[in-house]
Amino acid sequence: MFATVAWPRQFGAQIELAHPRDRGCWIKLSSTRFYAYIAKMIDGFGRNIDYLRISVTDRCNFRCTYCMPEQQSFLPHRDLLTYDEILVLVGRFIAHGIRKIRLTGGEPLVRRDIHILIDALGQHVCNGALDELTMTTNGSRLEQFAPLLASAGMKRINVSLDTLDAEACSRISRGGDLDTILAGIHAARAHGLDVKINMVALKQQNEDALLPMAHFCAEHGLDLTLIETMPLGAGVTEREESYISLDDFTAPLRAQYALHPLAHKSAGPARYWRVEPLGLRLGLITPMSHNFCDQCNRIRLTTDGKIYMCLGSELHVDLRKALREDSLTDVDYLLQRALRLKPQRHEFETQLAQPDLRLARHMNATGG
């Protein structure tokens, strides 16, 4: 039986990872001779949590119709975790078994001085404490940031783009300029980053965009991931009208091409297919039509320091208070306690059908 070991506060946050084990690791408390055992994060359903998504800001320069309403209020700056605070928490997450981090938001590249955080997190990849650092971005500032992402050790990123039609792109994203996003994608490729396009399936809004997108991705060596829209966030209208299952959305693609299942697994929830003869790798994320929660390895840190164990649940623990009171022991305790809050699965299907059950929290707050 393993348990998280709390250590006296005077030993501070300076720890060194040592001796990884199957269900946890030993850490050396710096400037002492002592070691403490930190259990890996294994939830109540036996799932090993090793993937953290960090929403670095809830702000965004777009207002995608499925993500948030046009008039959206954001957190005051004082509520946001500082970069130093995020980095302290990341140290604790790594000690508890997190191996992959995705920066998201809101739009991560609109947060001021984001290069400071990216560089610092990149060090964890360089020294082997993390397997991967990556990002999901709307692409609007990617051309400018691509060199920085590459030099920080990022190998791949996700860029959200729902159509290659300039007018539809601007309409769906309420702020996106197609040429700017495409310039960002090409800059990322030129700097050696693998790019996966995230495309949200929207009934009658971008159904005709799938084939052009598949051709574009195949031509430019990009992966394509399709996502079913989830009923998250107050004030987003036309949820029922815009939902379409990926079985239906991909019908024109399947009519023209053969889809072969792939064994490939990423850190996320997609199932992968090879589209032949296009040679395209296609990921399908089907939270609504084909539940994948039994494989879930993810937790999410919000901009204001809360840990949500599931996109579809309000249950969370608040790490910011413990952090600001300088109690890393409490942070460790809360992290292990949070594991017991992770539900077996989300209930998005029921929430789509019953609006009064939907969560008010938007995707940009939790980090998609």
CA atoms within 13 A on the CB side of 253: 28
Of 281, 257, 256, 284, the residue nearest 268 (C-alpha): 284
Residue 65 binds ligand SAM (CB under 6 A)? no
Residue 288 binds ligand SAM (CB under 6 A)? no
Residue 230: CB minimum distance to ligand SF4, A: 11
Residue 136: CB minimum distance to ligand SAM, A: 4
Query: Would you call 301 helix, strand, or coil by DSSP?
Result: strand
Question: Which residues neighbour 312 within 8 Å (Cβ) at sequence distance 6 or greater?
Answer: 230, 232, 287, 343, 346, 347, 348, 351, 359
Q: What is the largest CA-CA distance in the chain?
A: 65
Closer Cβ to ligand SAM, 59 or 96, answer by number:
59
Residue 68 binds ligand SF4 (CB under 6 A)? yes
- The residue written with tokens 């109540």 in the block is 44
Task: State the binding partner of 63 from ligand SF4, ligand SAM, none, CB within 5 to 8 A by kind.
Answer: ligand SF4
- The residue written with tokens 């594991």 in the block is 339
Residue 198 binds ligand SAM (CB under 6 A)? yes
Considering only 227, 323, 328, 338, the residue that binds ligand SAM (CB under 6 A) is: 227
Closer Cβ to ligand SAM, 91 or 283, answer by number:
283
Residue 138 binds ligand SAM (CB under 6 A)? yes
Residue 364 binds ligand SAM (CB under 6 A)? yes
Residue 225 binds ligand SF4 (CB under 6 A)? no
Structure token digits, residue 254 = 């399947």
Residue 74, φ and ψ in degrees, nearest 5: -125, 165
Residue 108 binds ligand SF4 (CB under 6 A)? no
Residue 302: CB minimum distance to ligand SF4, A: 13
Q: Please, what's the b/e burial string for 303-317 (b: 16 or more CB within 10 A of its CB; e: otherwise)? A: bbbbbbbbbbbeebb
Residue 107: CB minimum distance to ligand SF4, A: 5
> What is the C-alpha to C-alpha distance for residues 300 and 304, in angstroms, rounded to an integer?
11
Considering only 4, 134, 137, 266, the residue that binds ligand SAM (CB under 6 A) is: 137
Residue 49: CB minimum distance to ligand SF4, A: 23
Of 288, 300, 298, 269, the residue nearest 366 (C-alpha): 300
Task: State the binding partner of 184 from ligand SAM, ligand SF4, none, CB within 5 to 8 A by kind.
Answer: none
Pair 39, 339: CB distance under 8 Å: no
List of residues contacting ligand SAM (CB under 6 A): 60, 66-67, 104-105, 107, 136-138, 160, 198, 200, 227, 229-230, 232, 363-364, 368
List of residues contacting ligand SF4 (CB under 6 A): 60, 62-64, 67-68, 105-107, 138, 160, 173, 363-364
